[in-house]
A = this chain, B = another copy of it.
């Protein structure tokens, strides 16, 4: 990884210069990351990106290439300070995969003003993006009720954001991704077989209608058969054939005629997916292909997934809505200075009030495991009384003295944490409709 230091807003560096100039740069500070609200009436959010942030922190260095850029607007004293910059402070945070609610102190960054302020943009970019995707993904996973989920939205995301989308989706419970860079970098299982172009390619010399364009015609079955034959020869009988390029009923018939009843799966990418899934299931069963899976895709979001719950769908392919956070492409988290030299600070501004002071948080649950409340309280104070509920501390050490702590959650750990988190919600918390956060958060002064 190259230096991450310029993935930063210019004003972090001009503030640094001014603070080095007047001596305030060395005051001990706490910055806190939190979301003032959940987007679009969501009931919960999923923390994601923490692991990527810790990795990016190790590469936050100003080498000569980076210094050359900031030298355009900074004095030489600041440049010299940046040359030696290493974050040496401490970071606590909600473990990746933990649920969060409005005001949850997701990240607590402590050190000198100078070393902490520089991390604002990078921390927010990563956490806002990955948490937005993971939060949408968790709703889709919950709606899919245990069926296989394949992330395939790379083409609708920035090319370098797409692997992070795959990672966040996997973290939240998706099973696989189309994105090969996510396979390489994060070990997410890969998936994918063919697109309509592959069937059309096999139309070869055929000419159909009067306009010279081959559309549905008696010859389509033959071309589709050629495409399916080519795919099965290359990828084996377990592959998934895309059956809706022309006529789905004919496509399914051709698929089984070519592959036999042991065919792995068929994919439907258009039309009324519920109606088609039932029809295709009946047709497959009638042909003896009772184990051939049905994969559906095409503009699915959590609502469409939920609407298909009663249908014989075995797997969902989800693209655009996943990588755009299903209407909430950013988690809207902020990075706020909350404490200076041991004293709480807070901005006073209409609609944007913040709570000062370094904080901790606990989540209370019944003995059944159902959560009932989150309590955010001053880190310097005592843990609030639990009134007989089970108590879980939410902040864990991530970085100490600038170095990642041992035993940070793996992606597998985070997957389990999301799954446990969803199970812990009261039933209203899993509703897809807009509403209040699943549990209330109490702020103790």
Q: Which residues of A contact B (CB under 8 A)?
A: 4, 6-15, 17-22, 24, 27, 29, 31, 56, 65-66, 69-70, 72-73, 75, 113, 117, 120-122, 124-126, 128-129, 152, 154-164, 178-181, 183-184, 190-198, 200-207, 211-216, 226, 229-231, 233-235, 239, 244-247, 269-271, 320, 323-325, 329-330, 332, 335-337, 340-341, 343-352, 355-357, 445
Complex partner residue of A192 from B9, B27, B122, B330, CB under 8 angstroms: B9
| Pairwise interchain contact A125-B113, C-beta atoms closer than 8 A | no
Known: A7-B154, A156-B330. A245 touches B349 (CB 8 A): yes
Complex partner residue of A347 from B196, B330, B346, CB under 8 angstroms: B196
Task: Find the B residue at minimum CB distance from A178.
Answer: B9
Contacts of A323 in B (CB 8 A): 330
14 A-B residue pairs with Cβ-Cβ distance under 8 Å, sorted by A, are: A7-B159, A11-B178, A15-B231, A18-B198, A22-B234, A125-B155, A157-B161, A158-B160, A203-B340, A203-B343, A214-B343, A214-B344, A214-B346, A215-B346
Task: Find the B residue at minimum CB distance from A349.
Answer: B270
Q: A121 → chain B, closest Cβ, in Å?
A: 5
Complex partner residue of A197 from B31, B56, B122, B324, CB under 8 angstroms: B31
* In the bound complex, CA of A204 to CA of B164 (Å): 39
| Pairwise interchain contact A158-B129, C-beta atoms closer than 8 A | yes
Known: A194-B18, A345-B203. A121 touches B154 (CB 8 A): yes
Complex partner residue of A194 from B15, B22, B203, CB under 8 angstroms: B15
Majority DSSP secondary structure for residues of A touching B: mixed
Contacts of A70 in B (CB 8 A): 180
| Pairwise interchain contact A158-B155, C-beta atoms closer than 8 A | no
Task: Find the B residue at minimum CB distance from A335.
Answer: B155
* In the bound complex, CA of A243 to CA of B10 (Å): 19
Complex partner residue of A330 from B157, B200, B271, CB under 8 angstroms: B157
* In the bound complex, CA of A329 to CA of B328 (Å): 10
Known: A72-B190, A124-B155, A155-B125. A233 touches B9 (CB 8 A): no
| Pairwise interchain contact B156-A164, C-beta atoms closer than 8 A | no
